[in-house]
A and B are shown apart, each in its own frame.
Chain A
Amino acid sequence: MTRTQQISFGFLAQAVALLMLYTAVTLLGAAKFVSSDPLAVSLPYQHVGAFANVLLHLSVMSGLLGGGVYVLAGQGMRDDALLSYSFRLWSVILILAFFAGLLGLLEGRNLLELPPPLDIAQIVAILLILAGMVRSQARWTPFVQVWMVGMALGVVCTIIGLIPTTDYLADRTLRALAVGLNVNVAYVLAALALGYWLMHRFSDVPQGWADSSLYTAAGVLALAGVLVSLSGFYTLGVPEWAITLGNIGAVAVPILYLIVAAHTYKALSSRNPTVTLAAHWYALGLLLLLIGAGLLGGLQVAPGIQQWTAGTRLSDLQLTLTALAAIAIVLGVVNQVTAEMRGQNRRVMGLTPFWLVAFGIVGGGLALGGAGLVQTYLERVAGIGYLETQTLIVPLYALWLGGWLAAALGIGIYAFTFWVRRPVTPVT
């Protein structure tokens, strides 16, 4: 195992560990929606929710970085000191973020909760990797280009989120931009590149087709992701042309995601003898992307719908499912990388965690989506108060919690297997 591969495996291990923590914290947060909360004062939702958001973000980023570095190592990237520095810095960021979350020291901006010094450190860590890649990468393959665009956009989004302003409306605009582009475009592009790398591993699609397909899919997802992201501006007051664009986008967004799904179907229907579960995880990632970004994103892009759903569980779910789509692809990468590092063509993590996670997230997501729909009707259309509405949708929250319990169990088994079957023998 080369030093670069070790680093990539380290990032992936961090992603799995953070995902476990995220699942546990999210379970705690979900339980607060279901019944009276004995921890309401000692551990209020605002701390739990912020901590979960930070853990999910760092888990996604760790996975995307780890997967990217592993693929680059396979494409001839030499060991580089900058990679080592980046990994150490990233590890420090994770530790500090963990304690900041535990101690309730996170920022009071929803989905931008990482304290500014850690945001800056995050930017530096990603730039170090990109610089190391530029220094040592000889081949600018389509994977490299799309993955790099995704990671660079992540840096830009972090910088946008750091811009200070005392005007709250301007702050909301910057937040909508930073969060929307990061989740709907940056995560998605980097994960898509990893998905296409997986595609080479589990299918017989020709290299040339996969490369051109990646460019097409990335272009399509960039356009769709931007449309979904810009819908965050509607509640802040937008010009008439943006409403017109939104109405067109509402039709276009689901179609754009379906185009990408069709590309992937070709690969999924042309499997090679690889028996790892990379294809399963990639398919799950795509399904979550279709639901989260394609369906919910499309609804959100329609101005006439978004004005009623903004701030309900539907808009919350859109971002969460899109981030979890990236996570599913990362778990596929972890599965594939572990098998390759062990030198064995095996499933490694097994089907049990896959199905538990798939049913848990999709089932729980549908329940939460149902809660969002009912909330939209009762609270926004029928004019019933927020608190009364929340009481009425507790059964749907209970289903959501049940789904998350299954997903948590699956992720726990996945993490345990990942640890037990970690590659201990260097493989060339």
Chain B
Amino acid sequence: MPGTRPFFIAALLVSAVAVVALAGSVLHPRDVPQAVATGYNVWRATGCEGCHTLFGQGGPYAPDLTGIYAQRGDVYLREFLVNPNAFHPNQRLMPRFGLTIAETDSLLAFLEWVGQQETGWPPRPIQVSGGSGLVGSSVANSGETAVLPEDPAARGRNWFKSPPANCATCHALEPEVVIVGPSLAGIATRAGTRVPGLNAEAYIRNSMMAPGDYVIEGFQNVMAQNLADTLSSDQINDLIAFLMTLE
């Protein structure tokens, strides 16, 4: 059949043009912070991609981690990397890599950077689920508590992700993301409608002091019951001030 060889050549040329055009529109190598570049080296050296995916690329054995930094936060991930299997007992095991603090820092900087890239993917958060926060932080982020901000809400944000409260271990600030407890995105708006007679601030305070009083449907009463003992009144007020900003 005449013309099939030219068709083959034309198809190759069209394919090459499509590849160059699309790759050219996506490929814009930029300088990235050194910590991020180092973090990527740690990611490769430890073979994370053999099990995990980022942007949907990688191995199929473990969850996608594109948004993991925003979902779980720095404190949780540091704890997790020290002893992953304590967080998911009786489930798929992740090896302990014995990362140094510097390696952990750079890996987390890398994951934070990945989550900040505005690629439009995933269309909704992909959850790992499971995971219960460990009691007794082995990698306490004590540096963050050294100088506290003036603003109560800013201090509350600090307590949210730091000891002794560490709320971020179980609660996400992203909508629809469930770590262990419900997402707290929009809590300031929602809280006032939960229980008749309780305004938003009162409901939040009650939920911290007596978590079992109003357990949200679909969740269990597994929140720490002793926050009234472990947190100072100032810390509780700071946390409430912060949560009241989440409209």
| Stretch of B37-45, B145-153, B221-229, B238-246 at the chain-chain interface | B37-45
Q: Is the CB of B95 within 8 A of A40?
A: yes
**Is A237 at the interface (CB under 8 A from chain B)?**
yes
Q: B91: shortest Cβ distance to chain A, in Å?
A: 5
Q: Of A47, A313, A315, A386, which is in contact with the most chain B CB atoms at under 10 Å from its CB?
A: A386
Q: Which of B15, B47, B129 contacts A46 (CB 8 A)?
A: B47
The 8 A CB mask of B79-92 against A (1 = contact, 0 = none) is 00000000010111
Minimal Cβ-Cβ distance residue in B for A38:
B93
**Is A274 at the interface (CB under 8 A from chain B)?**
no
Minimal Cβ-Cβ distance residue in B for A391:
B91
Q: Of A107, A174, A219, A315, which is in contact with the most chain B CB atoms at under 10 Å from its CB?
A: A219
Q: Is the CB of A177 within 8 A of B19?
A: yes
**Is A76 at the interface (CB under 8 A from chain B)?**
no
Q: A359: shortest Cβ distance to chain B, in Å?
A: 23
Q: Is the CB of B55 within 8 A of A235?
A: yes
Chain A residues within an 8 Å CB radius of B32: 166-168
**Is B213 at the interface (CB under 8 A from chain A)?**
no
**Is A213 at the interface (CB under 8 A from chain B)?**
yes
* Distance, CA A32 to CA B92, complexed state (A): 9
Q: Is the CB of A386 within 8 A of B50?
A: no
Q: Which of A167, A170, A222 contacts B15 (CB 8 A)?
A: A222
Q: How large is the interface on B (under 10, 10 to 19, 20 to 34, 35 or more residues)?
A: 35 or more
Chain B residues within an 8 Å CB radius of A225: 15
Q: Is the CB of B44 within 8 A of A108?
A: yes
Q: Of B26, B27, B58, B124, which is in contact with the most chain A CB atoms at under 10 Å from its CB?
A: B26
Q: Is the CB of A49 within 8 A of B50?
A: yes
* Distance, CA A47 to CA B59, complexed state (A): 11
**Is B10 at the interface (CB under 8 A from chain A)?**
yes
Q: Is the CB of A230 within 8 A of B37?
A: no
Q: Is the CB of A383 within 8 A of B22?
A: no
Chain B residues within an 8 Å CB radius of A380: 122, 124, 126
Chain A residues within an 8 Å CB radius of B48: 46, 108
Minimal Cβ-Cβ distance residue in A for B130:
A387
Chain A residues within an 8 Å CB radius of B125: 383
Chain A residues within an 8 Å CB radius of B120: 237
Q: Which of B133-191 contact A (CB under 8 A)?
A: 176, 178
Q: Is the CB of B5 within 8 A of A142?
A: yes
A37-B93, A107-B44, A223-B15 known; A50 and B27 CB under 8 Å?
A: no
Chain A residues within an 8 Å CB radius of B19: 177, 181, 226, 229-230
* Distance, CA A108 to CA B97, complexed state (A): 14
The 8 A CB mask of A101-128 against B (1 = contact, 0 = none) is 0001011111000000000000000000
* Distance, CA A175 to CA B53, complexed state (A): 13
Q: A225: shortest Cβ distance to chain B, in Å?
A: 8
Chain B residues within an 8 Å CB radius of A237: 26, 117-121
The 8 A CB mask of A168-189 against B (1 = contact, 0 = none) is 1111111111000100010000
Chain B residues within an 8 Å CB radius of A79: none
Minimal Cβ-Cβ distance residue in B for A386:
B63
Q: A383: shortest Cβ distance to chain B, in Å?
A: 6
**Is A239 at the interface (CB under 8 A from chain B)?**
yes
A235-B57, A237-B26 known; A219 and B51 CB under 8 Å?
A: no
The 8 A CB mask of A36-68 against B (1 = contact, 0 = none) is 110011001111011000000000000000000
Minimal Cβ-Cβ distance residue in B for A174:
B27
Q: Is the CB of B61 within 8 A of A45?
A: yes
**Is A212 at the interface (CB under 8 A from chain B)?**
yes
Chain A residues within an 8 Å CB radius of B58: 110, 311
* Distance, CA A67 to CA B27, complexed state (A): 36
Main secondary structure on A side of the interface with B = helix
* Distance, CA A40 to CA B48, complexed state (A): 14
Q: Which of B5, B57, B110 contacts A176 (CB 8 A)?
A: B57
Minimal Cβ-Cβ distance residue in A for B17:
A226
Q: Is the CB of A41 within 8 A of B128?
A: no
Minimal Cβ-Cβ distance residue in B for A208:
B1
Q: Is the CB of A387 within 8 A of B128?
A: yes
Chain A residues within an 8 Å CB radius of B121: 234-237, 307, 310
Minimal Cβ-Cβ distance residue in B for A40:
B93
Q: Is the CB of A242 within 8 A of B22?
A: yes
**Is B7 at the interface (CB under 8 A from chain A)?**
yes
Q: Is the CB of B92 within 8 A of A209?
A: no
Q: Is the CB of A219 within 8 A of B110?
A: no
Chain A residues within an 8 Å CB radius of B1: 208-209, 212-213, 216
Q: Is the CB of B22 within 8 A of A238?
A: yes
The 8 A CB mask of A237-255 against B (1 = contact, 0 = none) is 1110010010000000000
**30 sampled A-B residue pairs with Cβ under 8 A:** A37-B92, A40-B95, A45-B50, A49-B59, A110-B58, A145-B8, A165-B29, A168-B40, A169-B28, A170-B29, A172-B57, A181-B19, A209-B1, A211-B4, A219-B4, A225-B15, A226-B15, A227-B18, A235-B119, A237-B117, A307-B122, A310-B56, A311-B53, A311-B56, A383-B176, A385-B130, A386-B126, A386-B129, A387-B88, A388-B129
- A residues near B, CB below 8 A? 32-33, 36-37, 40-41, 44-47, 49-50, 104, 106-110, 142, 145-146, 149, 165-177, 181, 185, 208-209, 211-213, 215-216, 218-220, 222-223, 225-227, 229-230, 232-239, 242, 245, 307-308, 310-313, 315-316, 379-380, 383-388, 390-391
Given A384-B127, A387-B129, 15 more pairs with CB closer than 8 A: A40-B95, A44-B95, A46-B47, A50-B50, A108-B47, A149-B12, A168-B114, A169-B117, A172-B55, A212-B1, A213-B1, A232-B57, A235-B121, A236-B119, A310-B121
Q: Nearest 10 CB-CB pairs, A to B?
A: A385-B129, A310-B56, A46-B50, A219-B11, A311-B56, A386-B63, A108-B44, A237-B119, A215-B4, A40-B93
